[in-house]
Structure 1
Amino acid sequence: MKWFSLLLQAGLSQAAIRFACSQVSIQRLDPLVEPGQIPSAHVHQIVGGNAFNATMTGDIGEQASCTTCTYSEDFSNYWTAVMYFRHENGSYKRVPQYANAQLGYEGRDDPSIKGGMTVYYTQKDFWNNGLNETRITAFPPGFRMTVGNPGTKSISGPGAQPGLGYTCLQTILTRGNETRDFPKEPCPAGIMAIHHFPACWDGKNVDSPDHQSHMFDNTIGAFREAPPCPESHPVRVPQVAYETMWDTTVFKDMWPKDGSQPFVWSFMDSKGYGTHADYLFGWKGDSLQRVMDDNCFFHGCGSPGKQGILKTQTVEEMNKCSVKDMIEEDTEGWLDELPGYPMG
């Protein structure tokens, strides 16, 4: 642990970044939980670098040639399950995503961002970069983790994870009032799915068999600062979080007549308890550590048209990056069954 002590002596920082990543792929691949399996069990929506594949090993930051994220040095991959609308007639249709209104650069929203999600790396909380007493250590090459579990059937007890939730958007700017299950009423501006990852690392393992044990989850949710890390997982890493804006409004005239909640995750979860997310670190070189050592905050760390500690790219460049589909199956349109979950 000598290297960790040296890091603590190097000084403290107060950076936080928030940025958009447009869609890089929607298909049944999961290189963390089901490496090499084509197809994986359920459909995922993926953003980030174009090294994404059925199997991923080594330093991803050195393997990708482009990224769908605002910061051009971030070749990480971020993914979640896909949300579908279940019609009364039993058919399914993928819920489209839209860009987070909080990411308007230079005071303007940019509607041209292609779906995707918003990614956060915070040190303290959502509102300010504070004065942390512990230096934030960037993830090493090869690092990966997951949060949540598609097999979760309850939101109470020891398996509950307060960093996972939903916001029923009254407007595109609604924040707070998070629930642990799918909203039960139509939401005027859609549903925002939120995934907070743990921020305490054991300092040794870049992965673990369950993709979670090398981390300690002391997250309290709602972008609030987590308590200190335990001795078992002493290294404080950035608090990673995703926000995905699902445009459920396109189905407002199809809400079931019996009032039942019609949305499901792509693994056939209609409660929302099994929401989960995957993270595969792929920042180029020392770029993430560089920003974690800085005092910048959100757009001050760099945004299109503005210089900062991180290099950025245009929305057009983000949207050009993609990966090929490896599975020949329809994930769009009206489907008789969810991919991987045939009826009966």
Structure 2
Amino acid sequence: MAPWLNLIAFAAVAQAQSGGNAMLRFGCSQTVIDRIDPLVDPGKVPSPHVHQVVGGDAFNVSMPMGDISKVAKCTSCSYDEDLSNYWTANLYFRARNGSYKRVPQMVNDAIGSANGGVTVYYTAPGPKTVTAFKPGFRMFAGDAKRRTSTNLGKNMQSCFRCYSGPNFKGNVYSPCFDPKLDTEGFPTTPCLGGIRSSVIFPLCWDGKTLDSPNHIDHVAHPVSGPTSFSVVNGKCPTTHPVKIPQVHLEIVWDTTKFNKKEDWPADGSQPFVLSSGDPTGYGQHGDYVFGWKDDTLQKAMDNACFGATCKSLTTQSFSAANKCTVKTVVKENNDGWLNSLPGMDMDMPM
């Protein structure tokens, strides 16, 4: 287990004794890879780019604004009360000859036998310090059109970790904190152990609006600006006074099959590109539709739960979670070598 995960395990005991902050960390297996987006492009088939999706089986071309937990019948997450959906752009390798290959996912460190997917965090600074999301809540993090750095340093809300060897070698610092292995854009050298994506969502809410036209304006960062991973004690602005759990997504990409420099672009540039057409990585983004059952998330935050077990929640094995999938809507090649990214012939951000 990574040293920083050992620290989390130690902190779990200390926090339970002191009534300190909560941090759920759990895995969600892959539910589907598809070119639909019920948040940004509801009802549109196909949507501009491919996404990898985890969570409940209510995921579809469009999703009702009501309580998703009442619609979904299963979840690919280890906490079976969480029928939310989480999705991000996929990662592709761009070979020297110009063809593309989707990069497969790996199970994250200390998660278990998940089928790739996403590691999800929910963090609160202490019991009864955050208000859990309400049924119908949804939000978006990042900017798919961004192609330059935010210049936020360790407070960046999106980063990539370049593992220095197999079995998550180099996984010492907390997400986005490693001065050498963490970058806001794609790593520029081969990563011997793969690449991990991190996407961090805002932690302040206006307290009234479950969504907004751009899926961003109803949430905000603290008045001091975006905070780094697990730093959730900033003051919320008066326009968004309600503190919500900090949602953080991690995806580990098995780029080890694409480390031969002779296969990289002839100009020596890094070969990876997001399914949105972004060759920089600065446009990494995440989508979230809330779907926890009843008040289970609120109880987990108030009970200062840590990690993948919580006395107020129930867990399911990944042998069960891995079975929760949905049928692909857009029938296209997502695994072979491609002449272009899916959707590249459509009007989409570059």
Structure 1 counterpart of 2:243: 236
| Distance (Å, rounded) in 1 between the aligned partners of 2:345 and 2:190 | 27
* 2:341 pairs with 1:338: yes
Matching residue within 289, 296, 301 for 2:298 = 289
Matching residue within 80, 88, 96 for 1:72 = 80
| Distance (Å, rounded) in 1 between the aligned partners of 2:269 and 2:23 | 40
Q: Alpha carbons of 1:161 and 1:335: their partners in 2 closer, same or farther (altered >3 Å)?
A: farther
Alignment map for 1:38-57 (pairs within 5 Å): 38-57=45-64
Structure 2 counterpart of 1:30: 37
| Distance (Å, rounded) in 1 between the aligned partners of 2:345 and 2:197 | 25
Aligned length: 312
| Distance (Å, rounded) in 2 between the aligned partners of 1:13 and 1:298 | 14
Structure 2 counterpart of 1:63: 71
Shift of 1:17: 0.5
Matching residue within 278, 287, 290 for 1:278 = 287
Q: Deviations over 1:85-143 (max 9, x none)?
A: 0011111000011111132xxxxxx3x3111010000113xxxxxx57x6211000000
Shift of 1:21: 0.3
| Distance (Å, rounded) in 2 between the aligned partners of 1:221 and 1:164 | 10
Q: Alpha carbons of 1:226 and 1:153: their partners in 2 closer, same or farther (altered >3 Å)?
A: farther
Alignment map for 1:213-292 (pairs within 5 Å): 213-218=217-222, 219-253=226-260, 254-292=263-301
Shift of 1:69: 0.2
- The one-letter code matched in structure 1 to 2:342 is P
Asked if the contact 2:150–2:156 (Cα under 8 Å) also holds between the matched residues in 1, the reply is: no
| Distance (Å, rounded) in 1 between the aligned partners of 2:326 and 2:293 | 19
Asked if the contact 2:49–2:343 (Cα under 8 Å) also holds between the matched residues in 1, the reply is: yes
| Distance (Å, rounded) in 1 between the aligned partners of 2:300 and 2:59 | 24
- The one-letter code matched in structure 2 to 1:169 is Y
| Distance (Å, rounded) in 1 between the aligned partners of 2:41 and 2:75 | 23
Query: TM-score, length-normalised on structure 1?
Result: 0.86
Q: Alpha carbons of 1:226 and 1:183: their partners in 2 closer, same or farther (altered >3 Å)?
A: farther
| Distance (Å, rounded) in 1 between the aligned partners of 2:254 and 2:264 | 14
Structure 2 counterpart of 1:140: 134
* 2:18 pairs with 1:18: no
- The one-letter code matched in structure 2 to 1:227 is G
Q: Secondary structure at the match of 1:320?
A: coil
Where structure 1 has 5 or more consecutive residues not aligned to the other structure, the ranges are: 1-11, 104-109, 125-130, 302-307
Asked if the contact 1:191–1:248 (Cα under 8 Å) also holds between the matched residues in 2, the reply is: yes
* 2:161 pairs with 1:167: yes
Asked if the contact 1:188–1:249 (Cα under 8 Å) also holds between the matched residues in 2, the reply is: yes
Q: In percent, how many aligned pairs have the same letter?
A: 49
